[in-house]
Amino acid sequence: MGKILIIGAGGQLGQCLKVVAERRNIDGVIFPAEADANILNQEGLSALLEKEQPAFVVNCAAYTAVDKAEDEVELAKAVNETGAANLALACKANGATLIHVSTDFVFEGNEVKLLLEDDIAQPINVYGQTKLDGEKAVIALLQEHFIIRTSWLYSEYANNFVKTMLKLGAERDELNIIADQVGTPTYAIDLANAIYDIIQSESTAYGLYHFSNEGVTSWFDFAKAIFDISDTLVKVNPIPESVYPTKATRPAFSVMDKSKIKSTFNISIPYWRDSLVECISKIKAQ
C-alpha cells in the first residue's frame, strides 16, 4: 500500500486519522510537524515528499474560520487554493495520490434536495469560494486525486460545535440556536475511517465524493441531541438565522448525497445521532 503522509496532522481530522490508524493497525502513516508540512512552502513540501516518498497524501490543512475569511480573503485564498495547488504539484512530481478534504459550503444551498457531486457549485461566502477554487486547482493539476466534501465536522479533538455546546450548556440555563440551517453532522472519526477505506481499496476511481454521516438535522436539533445524550439540563430556543446574523452567509440546506462514495468503495456510513453518542461518551471519558 505504501506510506501515507498526513498534512495538517495537528488539526481535528489529522488527530482522528492518527487514532484510527492505531485502532486499525495501519502502518506507514506519517504525521509531520506543521513546520515541515507548510502547504504555503512549495520547496519545503517538495523536500518532504521527496524524502518520504508516500503513495498517498491526505490534505487536512485548511483555513476554516468561515466568518473571519470575509475579512481575511487573501489568507483564506492562500491556504485553501494556493496551498492545495502546491500540494497537488508536489504529489505530481513524486508520484503520489492526493486525498483532499473540501466542504458542503461550495454549494449555495437554496434548494431542498440532496446535493450530488456534479451539481453546480455556487458558494455564497469567501470560505466556500476559496475551497471550491482549491478543488479546481487539484483537478487541473493532478489526475490522481480524490476530493471528499464533508460537512459540520466534529469530534472529541480540537474546537467544534459539539464541544462548544457542552461547554455553554454547563455554563448557562438557556441558549438560542439557529433552526433554519439544515445539513448533516460528520463525526471526524467516521471520515477518517472512510479515508483509510479509500486508500486500502487501491481504487483508481479518482474524482469528487461526498461524505457526511447519514440523516438530516438543523443546528437547533443537533444542539438538542447533544444536550439529551450528555444529560445536560439547558433550555434551547429555536431561532431563525435572521435573528443571529453572521458576517458570512451560510447555506440554508446542504445535505449531500453519499451514494457515490458508498457504492464505489463499499463504505457503510453510520447515522449521525449514533456517532454523536459515541463521540460524547469519548469526551466524557477524557
Cα–Cα distance list, 174 to 190, 220, 242, 244 (Å): 31, 13, 19, 16
DSSP state letters, 157-220: SSS-HHHHHHHHHHH-SEEEEE-S-EE--EEHHHHHHHHHHHHHHT----EEEE---BS-EEHH
Catalytic option among 63, 127, 157, 196: 127
Active site residue 154: no
C-alpha cell at 143: 489526475
- Map grid coordinates 508540512 to a residue: 37
Residues in Cβ contact with 84 at an 8 Å cutoff, skipping those fewer than 6 apart: 39, 59, 100, 134, 135, 137, 138
- Map grid coordinates 483509510 to a residue: 196
DSSP state letters, 64-124: --TTGGGT-HHHHHIIIIIHHHHHHHHHHHHTPEEEEEEEGGGS---S-SPBPTTSPP--S
Collapse the DSSP code of 145 into the 3-class scheme (helix H, G, I; strand E, B; otherwise coil) and give the result.
strand
Strand partners, 209: 148
C-alpha cell at 274: 449514533
Give the active site residues. Answer: 127
